[in-house]
Amino acid sequence: MPAMWHSTFILVMVLLAISRPSLASQARTEESQGTGNATEHTITTLPIVIWKWEEIHFPYLVALWVLVSWLCKLVFQQNPCLTSVIPESGLLICIGWVLGGIIYGADKVQTFRLQPFTFFFYLLPQIVLDAGYSMPNKLFFGNLGAILVYAVIGTCWNAATLGLALWGCWLGGAMGDIDTGLLQLLLFGSLIAAVDPVAVIAVFEEVHVNEVLYILVFGESLLNDGVTVVLFNVFNAFVSLGGAQIDAVEIIKGIISFFVVAVGGSLVGVVFALLITLLTRCTKNIQIIEPGFIFVLGYLSYLTAEMLSLSAILSCTFCGVCCQKYINANMDERSVSTVRYTMKVFANGSETIIFVFLGISAIDPSIWVWNTAFILLTLLFIFVFRFIGVFLLTWILNQYRLVPLDFIDQVVMGYGGLRGAVAYGLVLLLDENTYKEKKLMVSTTFIVVYFTVMLQGITMKPLVTWLKVKRAAVAERTLAEKLQNRTFDHMLVAIEDISGQIGDNYMRDKWNNFEEKWLYWLLMTPFARKSCDPIFNIFHKLNIKDATSYVKEGERRGSLAFVRNESKADVDFNKKFDADFSEMMPYIMTENMGPDHVPVSSILRDSVPSVCLDMHEQDLKMRESEDFDAHHVLQQHLYKGRKQHRHRYSQKHLEVSKDEHEVQEIFQRTMRSRLESFKSAKMGVAPPKISKHLKKDQPQKMPNGKSTENSKSHAYGDEDVEFSEGDSASGCEAAGSSFPMRAYRGAGIVNPAFMAEMDTMDPMPPMQQIPSWLAEAEVDSSTVAPSQRAQLRLPWTPSNLRRLAPLRLSTHSNDSFLLADSPATQEGISEPPPPPPPQDGQGRGTHK
Amino acid sequence: MGSTNSTLSRIPNVEELMQETGFTPAHIVRLYDRFEALDKEKTGHLRPQDFGAINRLAMNPIGDRIIGSFFSTGQETVDFHSFVRILAHFRPADKNRPKDPSMPQPVNSRTSKLKFAFQLYDQDKDGKISRAELLQVLRSMLEMQVTEEQLESIADRTIQEADLDKDDAISFEEFRKSLEKVNIDHKMSIRFLR
């Protein structure tokens, strides 16, 4: 850890060192530093390199500061014992003080300060957008009434009471001689009244209180920022107008403007949310910048609202809240996670920067004016009135709430009234000529922010533990629960209908109907519409979770064995599948399977009862157009997997081909093909194009004697040949060629080169070959009796088919070539030596 | 208050009913008005078609089941007392009401709320939600959006999650266990009936 600190401080030093020249160039008082010298040279000849500090110093400093702030965060996160006691926001402010101290010590003037413009236009928007975007929608709208009450009435209450109380104290002479007035104090009250989202998120995310409490505090903090800014503007205008000018009309105008600004801002947000959603309907082909639209339009919603002098924060919040559901459904899953993470990076990053700079900005004697009475009274009033306001409003709300907020929740809500950077940004916007006591206000704001973020932040966790506040349950989401929630919703609506009430559930039901009828149609792509059902969604997620754990489980057994086993499992499954399919079919899908043989592919594709199959297929269809070729290779993954595997490992592990299962498998395959060719010969199918095979097999004989490494490369050479003359040559393989040929193959069992050839051959039969194997398959399958082994598998097969196997099946099913391969496998199992039991067992194991 | 009292006096055994369900006189009166409004033929009993006349209920995917739950087996009609008793399931649990051990469990307790939800699925009343029963509910709630195969696998998966004794059906105990983390009182309560 010391190393980390060290590096951070070195960075700060560097920052100082390079920021000095810029100061020096402005003031020209200090002697030029070593680094600054280069700029002084007059150019007499062509310079090879030149020092261009002046040109880049601004972005450079910005980048460095960002880096420093993030490094600070990194340092703290390395010390869990530290962050468990003091919230991160507090720590960041502390480090800000230290950094500020260093800078001040070096420069004797505070060079860096958080400017309101930077804060409001570059740092705040992403935090607000992220807050809106990741807002738990149902919870938010379910508690919207309460949130609005707290955010609007609560904030007005805080502002008014604080302003009036301070004014009273001022009139009483408690503060000595300061030049202020009722309006100015009200303005001060309004700017410091709002609970700050940045501070609240930072503290509450670490505490994990129950979700209702969280959404109330968090929602309030988000929405009341809008309210604060509006109040601030109104009072600012009032102060400029002067007390004498204000009459009833102005006050009414102020109230109207309050509503226009707040509602208008929200509407702008909704409009932009619509825009984003409509845009994501058609960004399927530019997935790379798809996430970018969200950010740009989100930012534009902020700027547009600001331009129209509406509430930018509200606009941005509602933009995020409204669009999240639809864009998440519309966009590709990868884009969604990109948006999610990038949003978090920006939001978290700027949150960090804000706190560090809140610390740094304070280390500047020129802004500090101390007035003990004013500062202490402000702190006291803020604290007391916040509690009174919360208790009062909660009492009113509890008369109407279904689930009343209990006393402990109210205490936490009151105590969670953290002030933050918004107040600081606003107070800096004040005009020093109008507000004689601006410096006092700034200092007080600092003290309030520090007090709430540091002290209340630190004590929040112990308080929550001590009061035994209901924590958020880390619930594992289950399908049953989700289903039940849906049933509850319907049930409540029905009961409300029966009892003749128009309540929350009625409204929600109305909204849902409207949403389903119109919004989905308007805002979502047809594909997304289908998958947006919550029950279906959670089912999908659970399936993905299963698949992940399946892979993990496999990897736990060692990656090499896993890959090997899996590809073997594939083979095994494939065989098993083919062998069992004819018997399985009646159980699974009687209706689709006629007595006559439908090509296996169509069965595979249409009839396996599986969600996964369907979804996967859709997924495939979506991308198929983009990279069909790549996908085609992927689809043959039975072969590809093995080939790749050998390719990857053969160089390191020469014994790879001695793997027992693989040898076994090769043996079986060879046996099968031998039998096949034998049969075909017996049945009078002429061995086609022997000459060609001979020719092609020629080069393969050589590697026989050589090392696997060499043969490997040869095999790949062969592959090329195969593909080039695929049509004419390879087709015959699947159907079976002459016996001598097969005999030769038998000799090549352990030769990987041979296997590679088989791999490329088998999936390649051209279409005209299919009738021949089909005919064969019919003959063969008639001889297949429902063997005992197949019967044994029945109990576990359906569940497998439904859960994991279909994923694999579907990859096969799309491949029209593979089916050509499958009947052959079928024979291999049903007639010649059945695969040894151990192999079977393992195949099963991997499928569990 | 006069009208409240006069309405109350028309209901037989109203004291007992209030005691049992925990509804206030105001609730009872409101429900009685509603009951009479539904009871178009003024028989003092509601028939399934009276419920069916509620328009919005027809749009509810499990509306039929809800209506069915008002009628105990074999009965064609429901009187006001049973009507109120069923609705009392949806009264939020009251914390400040003293617990009376001599009394049976109140009708709005967690268990009886869950029982109500359970019997919505368990249509054949054998104490178990079978795969077919679950599938029926799923089908009505997810209709069109999802294919039959998907429905089936969702049903399987749901049963798999809850099914502890591997009998391929969900008993009430299993049902209760699977919803252990859900705050039933929040989810199965209606505000006005407090």
Instruction: List Cβ neighbours of A725 (8 Å cut-off, separation of 6 or more).
Output: A692
A vs B, Cβ pairs < 8 A, gives 144
Least CB–CB distance from B145: residue in A478, A533, A609: A533
Is the CB of A490 less than 8 angstroms away from the CB of B60?
Answer: yes
Which CA distances in Å does A112 have to A115, A383, B114? 9, 31, 61
Least CB–CB distance from A402: residue in B56, B179, B191: B191
**Amino acid identity of A86?**
I
Q: How many Å lie between the alpha carbon of A611 and the closest alpha carbon of chain B?
A: 5
* Test mutation, A491, A540, A546, chain B, max B CBs within 10 A: A491
C-alpha span between A530 and A333 (Å, rounded) = 15
* Test mutation, A471, A489, A499, chain B, max B CBs within 10 A: A499
pLDDT at A5 over 70: no
Where does the pLDDT of residue A771 fall: very low under 50, low under 70, confident under 90, or very high at 90 and above? very low
- Closest B-chain CA to A528: B145
What integer pLDDT is reported at residue A81 of this predicted model?
82
Query: With 0-12 CB in 10 A as exposed, 13-18 as middle and 19+ as buried, what is A629?
Result: exposed
Question: What is the mean pLDDT of the segment spanning B79-92?
Answer: 79
B97 vs A336: which has the higher pLDDT: A336
Check CB contact of A586 with chain B, cutoff 8 Å: no
A188 vs A803: which has the higher pLDDT: A188
Which CA distances in Å does A434 have to A236, A371, A444, B145? 10, 19, 18, 63
Q: Are A503 and B190 in contact (CB under 8 A)?
A: yes
pLDDT at A363 over 60: yes
Chain A residues with CB-CB distance to B161 below 8 A: 478-480
Q: How many Å lie between the alpha carbon of B170 and the closest alpha carbon of chain A?
A: 11
Check CB contact of A802 with chain B, cutoff 8 Å: yes
- pLDDT > 70: what percent of chain A? 59
Check CB contact of A501 with chain B, cutoff 8 Å: yes
Is the CB of B161 less than 8 angstroms away from the CB of A494?
Answer: no
Residue A625 token pair: 């157009």
C-alpha span between A262 and A141 (Å, rounded) = 17
Mean pLDDT, chain A, whole residue set? 69
Nearest Cα to A500, choosing from B94, B153, B146, B193? Answer: B193
Most confident of A487-501, A592-606, B1-15: A487-501
C-alpha span between A386 and A452 (Å, rounded) = 12
Where does the pLDDT of residue A718 fall: very low under 50, low under 70, confident under 90, or very high at 90 and above? very low
Question: What is the mean pLDDT of the segment spanning A824-834?
Answer: 43
Residue extents of the structural domains in chain B? 1-89, 107-189
Tell which phi-psi region holds residue B44, choosing left (phi > 0), alpha (psi between -120 and 50) or beta. left
- A209 forms beta bridges with A471
Where does the pLDDT of residue A318 fall: very low under 50, low under 70, confident under 90, or very high at 90 and above? very high
* Three-class SS state of A556: helix
Instruction: List Cβ neighbours of A545 (8 Å cut-off, separation of 6 or more).
Output: none
- Closest A-chain CA to B93: A403
Chain B residues with CB-CB distance to A473 below 8 A: 181
* Three-class SS state of B128: strand
Least CB–CB distance from A500: residue in B34, B90, B186: B34
Query: With 0-12 CB in 10 A as exposed, 13-18 as middle and 19+ as buried, what is A397?
Result: middle
Chain B residues with CB-CB distance to A499 below 8 A: 31, 34, 87, 190, 192-193
What integer pLDDT is reported at residue A8 of this predicted model?
59
Instruction: List Cβ neighbours of A205 (8 Å cut-off, separation of 6 or more).
Output: none
* pLDDT one-digit tens code per residue, A494-526: 777 777 766 667 777 778 777 777 777 777 777
What integer pLDDT is reported at residue B192 of this predicted model?
62
pLDDT at A778 over 80: no
Which CA distances in Å does B72 have to A405, A423, B90? 37, 62, 18
Instruction: List Cβ neighbours of A785 (8 Å cut-off, separation of 6 or more).
Output: none
Check CB contact of A486 with chain B, cutoff 8 Å: yes
Q: What is the DSSP letter of B78?
A: E
Pick the CATH number of B107-189 from 1.10.238.10, 3.40.190.10, 1.20.910.10, 1.20.120.1200: 1.10.238.10
C-alpha span between A428 and B36 (Å, rounded) = 65
Where does the pLDDT of residue B116 fall: very low under 50, low under 70, confident under 90, or very high at 90 and above? confident
Looking at the domain that runs over B1-89, which CATH code has it been given?
1.10.238.10
Chain B residues with CB-CB distance to A535 below 8 A: 138, 141-142, 154
What integer pLDDT is reported at residue A636 of this predicted model?
42
Is the CB of B153 less than 8 angstroms away from the CB of A610?
Answer: yes
What integer pLDDT is reported at residue B95 of this predicted model?
58
Which of A137-141, A485-489, A805-809, B117-121 has the lowest average pLDDT? A805-809
C-alpha span between A221 and A200 (Å, rounded) = 7
Residue A144 token pair: 């919207």
What integer pLDDT is reported at residue A654 of this predicted model?
44
- Closest B-chain CA to A542: B157
C-alpha span between A151 and A413 (Å, rounded) = 12
C-alpha span between A806 and A769 (Å, rounded) = 27
Where does the pLDDT of residue A390 fall: very low under 50, low under 70, confident under 90, or very high at 90 and above? very high
C-alpha span between B149 and A762 (Å, rounded) = 32
pLDDT at B18 over 80: no
ipTM of the complex: 0.84
Residue A25 token pair: 């160039």
Question: What is the mean pLDDT of the segment spanning A810-820?
Answer: 41
Least CB–CB distance from A494: residue in B62, B92, B162: B62
Chain B residues with CB-CB distance to A400 below 8 A: 191
* pLDDT one-digit tens code per residue, A112-127: 888 889 888 999 999 9
Is the CB of A498 less than 8 angstroms away from the CB of B87?
Answer: yes
Considering only residues 199 to 258 of chain A, which have any Cβ-Cβ distance to chain B shorter than 8 Å?
none
Check CB contact of A609 with chain B, cutoff 8 Å: yes
C-alpha span between A183 and A170 (Å, rounded) = 12
Question: What is the mean pLDDT of the segment spanning A44-60?
Answer: 85
Residue identified by tokens 């924060």 is A313
C-alpha span between A77 and A674 (Å, rounded) = 65
Check CB contact of A540 with chain B, cutoff 8 Å: no
pLDDT at A826 over 50: no
Instruction: List Cβ neighbours of A480 (8 Å cut-off, separation of 6 or more).
Output: B158, B161, B162, B178, B179
Which CA distances in Å does A127 have to A490, A567, B184? 36, 47, 35
C-alpha span between A219 and A217 (Å, rounded) = 6
Instruction: List Cβ neighbours of A531 (8 Å cut-off, separation of 6 or more).
Output: A329, A537, A540, A615
pLDDT at A169 over 60: yes
Chain A residues with CB-CB distance to B51 below 8 A: 498
Max alpha carbon distance in chain A (Å)?
117
What integer pLDDT is reported at residue A453 of this predicted model?
87
What integer pLDDT is reported at residue A779 of this predicted model?
43
- Domains detected in chain A: 116-467 (1.20.1530), 481-554 (no CATH)
A682 vs A50: which has the higher pLDDT: A50
* Three-class SS state of A627: coil
C-alpha span between A21 and A41 (Å, rounded) = 14
C-alpha span between B141 and A97 (Å, rounded) = 58
Least CB–CB distance from A402: residue in B60, B92, B146: B92
